[in-house]
Amino acid sequence: MGFMSRSARAAVCGLVLATVTGGSVFAADYTLNINTALTTSDPLYKGLEDLKKNVEARSEGKLAIRLFPGSQLGKDEDVLEQARAGAGNAVVVDGGRLAVFVNDFGVLSGPYLASGYEGIRKVVTSPLMDEWAKKLHDGAQLQILSFNWWQGERHLLTNKPIKVPADLSGIRMRTPGAPVWTETVKAMGATPAPMAWADVYSALQTQVIDAVEAQDPASYGSRLYEVTKYLTKTGHFNLITGLVTSAAWFDALPPDLQIILKEESLKSGDVASHGTEAALADIEAKMTAAGMTIDEIDTTPFKEATAGVYEKLGYSDLKKQVDAILAQ
């Protein structure tokens, strides 16, 4: 397992956390800290609360889960590194960020890959995903618990109307820093400006950036309707994310707790994803009521503009495999 800090050793050994389950107090043998950039109002966070409740009950308090919204444990990339070092930390993360460890994951964040949750769920519960997960475990010391945490399709938030890719010329748009994200934003016509999600509101307010692309629950949770005027429904990314933790920490769990954690992660991912589906119309209604203009457009020009991203990043063959799974 290599060198490990005192905090990481404590996480692996699962030191002391009291958990209330069914009215009784148990001393947890293991503790998993889950970090997310999302707020507590996000439907996905409700899925994490569901996971916490069910894992603690089913394990009879042996495995405790602590939730850290608003990136309290650090940026996603930092938490991944903590996990790689053996800490009992997990993070809700997209395939683009995992592509630095196993390149294949990047295809999950490609433009217009799938429509809606049910389509992309076929891919992330397939044998192809199992192959990638093993590579990630063995090569990067990271363990996927489940990858079916759907956060919605991502749209453009700007201060001017957008109809076609040419309208994005000269616009500095925040996006995560992974290549598949930045190349897509470039192909759409904007200038990518990678930065942490927590910095987006102030960056828009001070005009450090001109625009952002994001899914509705995150946009609403971060009150981006206060600093942008238009939401253009491009749906360019179908944001599927996974719950990823330390391989060393996970491997040190008793087999029964490993099973509980993976099974409940998959179940709660479905809860979170269906909750997101159910919330989208209401979220857009609230943003409209707050003064934002929401535009439905013909996305064909954006699909055509971004079609070359897969080939540019070397994902052409992998895209064919994914398309075959989606066609099943």
Annotation: CATH topology of 6-327: D-Maltodextrin-Binding Protein; domain 2 (3.40.190)
- CA dihedral (294, 299, 302, 303) positive or negative: positive
Q: Got the DSSP string for 299-316?
A: -HHHHHHHTTHHHHTT-H
Would you state the pLDDT for residue 206?
A: 97
Lowest mean pLDDT among 20-24, 142-146, 201-205: 20-24
100 within 8 A of 172, measured Cβ to Cβ? no
Tokens of 269: 């991912």
Give the burial string for 160-186 (b: 16+ CB within 10 Å, else e).
eebeebebbeebbbbbbbbbbbbbbbb
Question: What is the average pLDDT score of the chain?
Answer: 91
Long-range contacts at 300-306 (CB < 8 A, ≥ 24 apart): 301/164, 301/165, 302/111, 302/112, 302/164, 302/165, 302/188, 302/234, 302/236, 303/111, 303/112, 305/165, 305/187, 305/188, 305/189, 306/111, 306/112, 306/184, 306/187, 306/188, 306/236
What is the pTM (predicted TM-score) of this model? 0.85
pLDDT digits (tens, 9 = 90+) for 250-260: 999 999 999 99
Would you state the pLDDT for residue 7?
A: 40
Between CA 264 and CA 271 the distance in angstroms is: 10
3-state secondary structure of 44: helix
Average pLDDT of the segment spanning 14-39: 66
Q: Got the DSSP string for 141-164?
A: -EEEEEEEEEEEEEEEEESS---S
Average pLDDT of the segment spanning 284-301: 97
Between CA 49 and CA 57 the distance in angstroms is: 12
- As a whole number of angstroms, the longest Cα–Cα distance in the chain is 61
Question: Which band of pLDDT confidence, cut at 50, 70 and 90, is reported for residue 115?
Answer: confident
Long-range contacts at 23-31 (CB < 8 A, ≥ 24 apart): 24/61, 25/61, 26/60, 26/61, 26/62, 27/61, 28/56, 28/61, 28/62, 28/63, 28/64, 29/62, 29/63, 30/62, 30/63, 30/64, 30/88, 30/253, 30/257, 31/63, 31/64, 31/65, 31/66, 31/88
Tokens of 209: 């950036």
Percent of the chain residues past pLDDT 90, beyond the cut? 85
Between CA 286 and CA 42 the distance in angstroms is: 14
Would you state the pLDDT for residue 14?
A: 40
Angle formed at CA 299 by CA 309 and CA 275, multiple of 5 degrees: 90
